[in-house]
Structure 1
Amino acid sequence: MADYKTYEQKMRFYKSAGWQAIRQQALVRDNYECQECKRQGKVYTDHHDPDKRKRLDVDHIKEIEHHPELALELDNLQVLCVWHHNEKHGRFSKKENKWDDEKW
């Protein structure tokens, strides 16, 4: 069983043929739609964003750092838009009030 704790180990995994193949299967299975948007009654596909950057991610439901045995399991994958993927992983930082003033 592989270890995915360092950045280099993760990048090696995400560039592997095995990951590329299972990632494509997840995209097809989920019809190239964000599953979290879908749960909220919305539809978001890779055609909704006018710029040419990556718009959909394939997410590990149970993270590979803690469950490396599930890294290539289709049932452990879901398609998410970049926004929902970042939200799931807490990648949005809240702006702090640098003045700490009381609001009136």
Structure 2
Amino acid sequence: MPEYKTKEQKKKFYKSGGWQWVRQEVLARDNYECQECKRQGRVYTDNHDSDKHKRLDVDHIKEIYTHPELALVESNLETLCIRCHNKKHNRFRFMKKKNKWNDERW
């Protein structure tokens, strides 16, 4: 069973032909729509003809470093937009911008 714990191992996996094939299958299965946005009543789709600016990811529901046996199992994969994928993995915090002007009136 391969391991996916180091950055190099993950990079090799995500460049593999097996991953590229299953990724396309899952995108097509999910109609190129973010499944989390759909659950929230929003629809986020992407033009799947353009890979120049990727806006959709295929996410492992059970992560590959804890469940490597599910790395290429379609039932463990779902399409997410970049925003939902980042939110799921806490890659950035949703913070309000601070007002650069104070609210004092002159």
Alignment TM-score, normalising by the size of structure 1: 0.84
What do the CA deviations read for 1:41-99 (whole angstroms, capped 9, x no partner)?
1110114xxxx52100000000000000000000000000000000000001366xxxx
Structure 2: how far apart are the matches of 1:68 and 1:34? 24
Residue of structure 1 equivalent to 2:86: 86
TM-score w.r.t. length of structure 2? 0.82
**Counterpart code for 1:12:** K
Amino acid of the structure 1 residue aligned with 2:56: L
Aligned pairs for 1:32-43 within 5 A: 32-43=32-43
1:71 pairs with 2:71: yes
Secondary structure of residue in 2 paired with 1:79: strand
1:23 maps to which residue?
23
Give every structure 1 segment of 4 or more consecutive aligned residues whose post-TM-superposition deviation is greater than 2 Å: none
1:65 alignment partner, SS class: coil
Q: Distance in 2 between matches of 1:7 and 1:30?
A: 28
Find the aligned partners of 2:5 and 2:64 in 1 and give their Cα distance. 8
Larger-gyration structure (1/2): 2
Give the superposed CA RMSD: 1.2
Tell me the SS of whatever aligns to 2:90: coil
CA displacement, residues 3-25 of structure 1 (integer Å, 9 cap, x when unaligned)? 00000000000000000000000
Q: Which runs of 5+ in 1 are unaligned?
A: 96-104
Question: Identity of counterpart residues, as a percentage?
Answer: 68
Task: Name structure 2 gaps, 5 residues minimum.
Answer: 96-106
